[in-house]
Structure 1
């Protein structure tokens, strides 16, 4: 219900307002009730006659794993600690803001993409904040090592770019095997990779009503395949196909909403590198071997495709196109 409510106002272009205060977006992309990872908020004064002044700005921090940096060991240790401490503070702000965001989404009000991401990531972050916070207090020096071994224990605001790259590399390697399996599934369903080459081909294939494009008609093997490709579910999730089916539906709905927000706010060229990589990974776009411009181009093509055809073709055929093509994108002929 929340996803549908959030979807309805996406075409509107009204000024954002949260907690009675206008939100001013810095850099045209990010901002927000509470602070999302590596973003900063600027709120205008409640009194219109006063000049707007920045308030509640988070301390500047450096992600020590971003490319192009040269830090000494001591500076790198300090940068890690500053990064994690500020991340925990941002997470706390997000947790305080999420109830208001939830209420506005339920009411069908417009929200920013960053607010929507806070809303999506909050449930998992709540489970991780206490153990991670205790670790930060008791043994902060061990956090990088522990996160390398157990990346899932880290809240979203505390994940470094380097950690995202490592997780992406593992997923991309697994997706190569899933791609081979998907081609066999597609052939068994009476389709060919050429059916996914262009948006026009994809529309024709989807129009034939193949059961592979119908979520409720997908067999257990195909549900597991799609979920593994999109990174849905945990170690034991393969035992619960019903839960995986529900998780797949939520993921595709949330990606459709996120795509509309990326298009509406024109964010593809403005996302920070870590957030860009995360967005590509959530859509099954191979990313670890791509440069930043290639990542932006890939995400941009995906968004163009979904905005032109998601409501007519559906998200399921588009998801299958990623499995079928993997390293290539659908040529969006119908958008011209």
Structure 2
């Protein structure tokens, strides 16, 4: 990856649009520094219809102007993403977000408790919203969230609108938690990568549908138990056989090149070994059995093992509770038969 000197820009003056053009006409991904000038450059690229990878507290997102059909189409093209898998739109503030969705009492309860943070809400789209229909893949709802990562929030404030941003990787591959993961997966398909360091949560946001009764569409960094306490009642959980209504619901997803064998209590010859707890392994998600640590390490460790070129990655059992539910969800998709 190449770095770029953002002294071409100045945070106290209008952005030099030539900087955005410079990034968008290169053949390799460029790194944008995590500075005020870097944030301004990233926002200029977004306004120009470009793609910018940026960190959130969950994973790195591949961002485009959510109101620009062509820019959103570039996300699908860059990722090789199925057209029926919707995208999440990220906003800097709640007032701007509310202009695009039909707000509800339950949305207010969850937003007050968890935003900014790793929670996505699926709500009905306002008829007047200019957000591209490609974002919702033809549905009458959109998935929205307010990320907590300071860098993401700075870029969104500088941009001033909604940014559609799925994970910044080729569709079905391991999600990126570091800038280098983005470069390795997308290469020149992304116009710039803003390097904000490793992501802290390490798995994608929890998704809750609020079109009818609250529906847990995807487990994530906020647990089902937490959500139930906030709402005062349990959530319905989406069954995998149901139609796709939100991001991250394809069965074969987050997949390395190697085949994944789950719940391995012993190792077979030639396997790459991803452990949890006190086990002899190649990489350990958490020797102390800390699920938060395991979530933060999950995608990076899968990347590192997959890069070794083995045919099978064997994974220790992960407790199916709390954050372990989200980890097991990602692992089960990584191990599922490949689609397409």
**TM-score grouping bracket, smaller chain normalisation:** under 0.3
- Where is the helix percentage greater, Structure 1 or Structure 2? 1
Rg (Cα) greater in structure: 1
Q: TM-score, normalised by structure 1?
A: 0.26
- Where is the strand percentage greater, Structure 1 or Structure 2? 2
Q: TM-score, normalised by structure 2?
A: 0.25
